Amino acid sequence: MLAAGIVAEISGVTIWRWLHDDALRPWTRRSWIFPRDPDFAAKAGQVLDLYHRRWRGRALADDEYVISADEKTQIPIRSRRHPITPPAPGRPMRVEHEYRRHGVCAYIAAWDVHRARLFGEVVKKISIVAFDALVARVMTEEPYRSARRVFWIVDGGTIHRGQAAAERLKSRFPNLTLVHLPKHASWLNQIEIYFSILQRKALTPADFTSQDQVAARILGFQAHYQQVAKPFEWKFTRHDLHRLMARCPDSAPEPLPVAA
């Protein structure tokens, strides 16, 4: 403004106030991911239908179930250099900033969307063997073992990617149907909601010396959460998706939100 001769002089505080009053905040930013899957709407739509108990235009029967599954990877195993001080009157919890690293681990979990049942295991690293073991644990229990169909909603991760994974699991469990989310659609996977709850309530602040300690915390919280769990109130529908995608011209697509 000074260089353009608009004003003779002006303070930074004044500029800040003008921008704030006009709801312009150039110093802030948000992260976005643009939809790149050409079949994004079709793939996401069938997942949204399942959340509302529909599949290919027909209502699900009482003996058909929907499972949302994924992996929480790279969970840090780290211990504080000094003990955490518990809160006291007029003083918050004190968490030592410095820590020692003891590696990482992962949590593979599955969530029954409509019955609010939770399954999960802590493993050293994710693998096809670990994922298939979780699937087997769920599918050999009732009511899934004798169900007409069990839909498993997963992303395109390497351990459950593509038709090969669908055929592999179908060969072991004929009543299992694997349903893949489109790329960059983790925000449509309900298990991610539980992961965010787990992170806030059980894994923050982190203070662990071994994978066993992490597993005890995660599985202990899982058992507690199962006692109070209710299905998530999912309101986003296929119609909402269509309205969102309608605002995505091919030359400049509307960004999709990044999952927390």
Averaged confidence pLDDT in the chain: 90
Total count of residues recorded for the chain = 260
Residue 253's pLDDT is: 45
Residue 251's pLDDT is: 41
d(CA 181, CA 109): 16
CB of 155 closer than 8 Å to CB of 70: yes
pTM: 0.84
CB of 134 closer than 8 Å to CB of 110: yes
CB of 189 closer than 8 Å to CB of 155: yes
The dihedral over CA atoms of 202, 208, 213, 219, expressed in degrees to the nearest 10, equals 20
Candidate from 24-28, 197-201, 206-210, 255-259 with smallest mean pLDDT = 255-259
Please, what are the domains in the chain?
36-257 (3.30.420.10)
d(CA 102, CA 211): 8
Residue 252's pLDDT is: 44
pLDDT in tens, 115-163: 999 999 999 999 999 999 999 999 999 999 999 999 999 999 999 999 9
Q: Which residues contact 21 (CB under 8 A, 6 or more apart)?
A: none
